[in-house]
Structure 1
Amino acid sequence: MEEVRVDIKEIVKSLEGYRTIVLYDSVTPTIPIIKTLIEMYKEGYVVIFSNSAFRKFRIISNIAGIDTSNLKMVVMNETGRCGDAYACFSYEDLDDFVAFASKLEGLIVLWGHWTLKRIVKEDRYWRLAFDVFDALHPKAWGFSFAPKHTYTPYERSLLSMLYDVTAIVKKVGEPYMFGEEVYSLEIFESVLKEVLPGTVYFMIDKDYSFIPR
């Protein structure tokens, strides 16, 4: 695919109002995307699907200096209890969760939803995914993050039915200059004329901000 030399922040900005899934091999290159999103929009919802994913998101926020004070955390876990989160649901409350999700507007970040594949039956997992997206408010938009290896090619084709844009981030080749790692963000599928399929390359600063390459 054609290499697109634009600021990766411009791509993130151009996806406002749309639904994007980011598939990754390593979580590291997703961090500047999450940081950019939250710095740009300040407010929104982060929907997290297990206690371990909640813990990891908090660690990522701390190491990257991401201010989450204005974010509403929504957590799903075994017990339906999660301390200071904005809302919490157990894995038995899936219908209640769908009803809750239907009322959300604005930016939504989905984190850890692949863990549900190990908890609920496969057909229920996909039915839940389609139920949630069918129920979402028209003004709900955002980014979903998932490890690429957790979905088969067929399952990734199902995911693409739910999202306007499918992106893949990964580390590429050997370190660049002075041992700096280089990463790529590939727009793999897009229904948007403003965001065409292509690839941008970047490095990551010490504070987990983008460094264009």
Structure 2
Amino acid sequence: MPSINSLLAITALATSALAAMQTVTVAPNAKFAFDPPTIKAAAGDQVQFVFANGNHTVTSGMACKPDGAVNSGFIAVNNQADAGPNGQAKGKGKGNGALGGLFGRQAGRNQATFTMTVQDTNPMAIYCAQATHCQQGPMVMIINPADDGQMTLPNVQKAAQRARNNVPADNVSGGQLNNKAKQLQAKNAKGKGKGNNGGLGALLGGN
């Protein structure tokens, strides 16, 4: 007769095998977007965010304000030769990364990722807390969007566009960064420009 521990191990393996992994690309082709902007996921499924270009975050919350559940921190995928210490911008723009962020390489085999496990099927809004990316894209998405009400994609986008501030979360939470992402962690550099509307500063520091 199998022991309780054996049965628990078999159950865990079966649950793991049934769990799905879904991939979301952060800033595909240097766009302020998540691709796809909505996904359906069951409790226990994993969502892997792949950082493709520029300096961005994966942060949960509505109207560009963190709720504390999920945050990747700032991950800067760019040409480091054009960046200052720790990936900060040399320009005066409000944001992170440098000119290289505009020409950042697409995620390849050694790509930076942040992986989270879905805890339930309730809607979860995700946004980028860099500069004004949340409002400008709007750079938002939803895991398990609602059929109507506040947590539909159009309403989450409208709330982001109307937000006065784009607020970053304090610490990495709700998921795991892979080694590549840890190497590319950066601080949020603030300057005189605002995102992509700050002239030369934005060109150098807002992406």
TM category (shorter chain) comes to under 0.3
- The structure that is strand-richer by fraction is 1
TM-score normalised by length of structure 1: 0.24
Which protein has the bigger helix share?
Answer: 1
Larger Rg: 2
